Amino acid sequence: MGFSKGFQNWFLLLTEKAFLSNPRNQTESVIIYNIAPKKMLFDISYLISWWMFILWILPKISIVKNLGFSAVQVQGLFSLKVVVGIGVTLFYHYYYGSRTSTDAFRFYDDANLLFEVFKSDPITYTKIVFGIDMQSAPVIEATDQLNNWYKNHLHGVFNDNMTIIRFNALVRLFSFNVYHIHTLIINLLAFLGLAALVNATKSLVDNTKLSFLSILLFPGIIFWASAVLKESLLIFVMGFLTYYGLRAISSFSLKNISFFLLFLLFGMTIKSYVAIALSIGFGLLLASKITSIKTRLLAPLYLGLGAGSTVLLNALLNLNIPERFYQKQHDFLNEIAISKPGSAFDLFVLEPTWVSLFKTAPNAFSNALFRPFIWEAHSIISLVASFEILLLISLAIIALWFKQQLNQQQTQLIVAFSISAIVILLIAGWVTPVFGALVRYKIPALILILIILNILVDTKKIPFIQKWLN
């Protein structure tokens, strides 16, 4: 009986049935409730059925087949990603404790509340999920019951909380409250997004398999982008935005433009700063195509005109860009003064001016790219992030040591992705005084940097890599 009970509680934890909040105090530790063995058997069977179905269909998808892996290898890599996602869920449960303040659970809980709306009023549910008639009384009444639908401070173009809640609400229609069905679906999307990203640059890298594996298995990326978090959705959108963006530039067609705009809109609803940063890089590639100016001259000219245009539009349209950065940082500093997170660090204080943004840019960039240092790591997340930085530096040294001769197209993409990565790192570095948040905000930049390193390296000069991957 003792073993049976222990196994049941262990599985409940994995299937999210263990993460039921104490109804008397949702900030306390969660309680494990007993469920009928038949229900537990259904949950196990349902989860495995979905997993097997995805493993069957995933290797058949063209952008996955083009990576060059065998079906078994694809299935193994996807399963590894799912297992990591389950591990992240357990980490959140044991490390953070309260589900009301952890991203892995609080958005899922709001989706469950929306599912209750679906059962009583499917029309209102549909309006909420698809963003239709959001000012109607039933919609406002329903969303007011959610704990995370609105942000305390909103400085972006869209509220990304709504996006992850909507995703979970859609999956909840067929997940039957088995949490890791959501883990499976979001990992499927992230896997496809990464495959699309690698396919987009396939002709420019020396080894497609190495390109895919170096991103998929990079510690921070596989950790944060394997759970039911915004980062997983971001990789899906980022991959297809890049895929159709590069296709639209090389082959202007209605299909490519339409899908590019669609994923650009999706990107704005998840992380608007990433969508904007990628668009800036795409702008340089488009300028390179329609002009005969060499990249080394065009890039500074493009950046200068872009910066000047941004300042001018900010003044003409009253966009208040410096004020937004100032307020975002100010709100972040106020939050850590109250919550006192262990990974907080001293950060320069912005002023709401362009001069302040310019003066602090080097510090912001170095903070985002290179910190936390090992001696600053006082948590598991910070420690792993500090070793991750050393790994990235090591990979950069290897790529530069075994650098290949670049053609014009490779050079243009490296410059474009470098600009996009710098913009992402600057934005993250300007406003983020917490290592725990910083390591997540810079993930898109890390992906772009890893793509750049894969373009740079000549794997033919490293025989064991060629032998291992072939």
- Which residue is listed with tokens 């969508």? 275
Let me know if residue 283 belongs to a domain: no
**What does pLDDT average to over the chain?**
88
Q: Which of 95-104, 283-292, 358-367 has the highest mean pLDDT?
A: 358-367
Domain assignment of residue 199, yes or no: yes
Contacts of 109 (CB under 8 A, 6+ apart): 21, 99, 100, 147
> Whose CA is closest to 465, among 190, 61, 453?
453
Task: Report yes or no on 281 lying in a domain.
Answer: no
Q: Indicate the residue among 235, 270, 305 that finishes a domain.
A: 270
151 & 56 share domain: yes
What digits encode the pLDDT tens for the residues 321-359?
A: 999 999 999 988 888 888 777 788 889 999 999 999 999
Report how far apart, in Å, the C-alpha atoms of 72 and of each of 84, 259, 339 are. Answer: 18, 31, 46
Q: Do the beta carbons of residue 447 and residue 217 sit within 8 Å?
A: no
**Which of 102-106, 229-233, 342-346, 356-360 has the least mean pLDDT?**
342-346
C-alpha torsion sign, points 72, 73, 74, 80: positive
Total count of residues recorded for the chain: 470
Per-residue confidence (pLDDT) for residue 98, from 0 to 100: 72
Q: Note the pLDDT of residue 30.
A: 41
Domain shared by 240 and 325, yes or no: no
More confident residue, 9 or 354: 354
Is 246 contained in some domain? yes
Q: How deeply is 232 buried, as exposed, middle or buried, from its count of CB atoms within 10 A (0-12, 13-18, 19+)?
A: buried
Q: Is the peptide bond before 372 cis (omega within 30 degrees of 0)?
A: yes
List own/partner pairs for 157-164 with CB under 8 A and 24 or more apart: 157/268, 157/272, 158/268, 158/269, 158/270, 158/272, 160/230, 160/269, 160/270, 160/271, 160/272, 161/107, 162/269, 163/230, 163/233, 163/269, 163/270, 164/103, 164/107, 164/228, 164/229, 164/230, 164/233, 164/270
Let me know: does 285 contact 270? Beta carbons within 8 Å: no
CA atoms within 13 A on the CB side of 284: 29
pLDDT of 341 reads 76
| pLDDT at residue 404 tops 80 | yes
How high is the pLDDT of residue 25? Answer: 40
**432 plus 362 within the same structural domain:** yes
Task: Tell me the percentage of the chain whose pLDDT exceeds 90.
Answer: 68
Which residues constitute the domain of residue 237? 1-270
Q: Which of 214, 244, 270 is the last residue of a domain?
A: 270
Same domain, 327 and 266: no
In a domain, 330, yes or no: yes
Average pLDDT over residues 256-274: 95
Confirm if 276 and 444 have CB atoms less than 8 A apart.
no
Q: Is residue 149 part of a domain?
A: yes
- Tens of pLDDT, residue by residue over 144-162, are 999 999 877 665 567 899 9
Last residue of a domain, one of 214, 241, 270: 270
Of 6-10, 209-213, 376-380, the one with minimum mean pLDDT is 6-10
26 within 8 A of 105, measured Cβ to Cβ: no
Does a structural domain hold residue 209? yes
Q: How many domains are there within the chain?
A: 2
Q: Between 2-14 and 37-57, two packed helices, what is the crossing angle to 10 degrees? A: 50
| 59 and 204 fall within a common domain | yes
Residues 208 and 349 in one domain: no
Global pTM reads 0.91
Residues 133 and 15 in one domain: yes
**Partners of residue 20 on adjacent β-strands:** 31
The residue among 445, 453, 446 whose CA lies nearest residue 395 is 453
Residue 297 lies in a domain: no
pLDDT above 90 for 97: no
Query: If you search the block for the tokens 């493993």, which residue do you land on?
Result: 55
Residues 245 and 389 in one domain: no
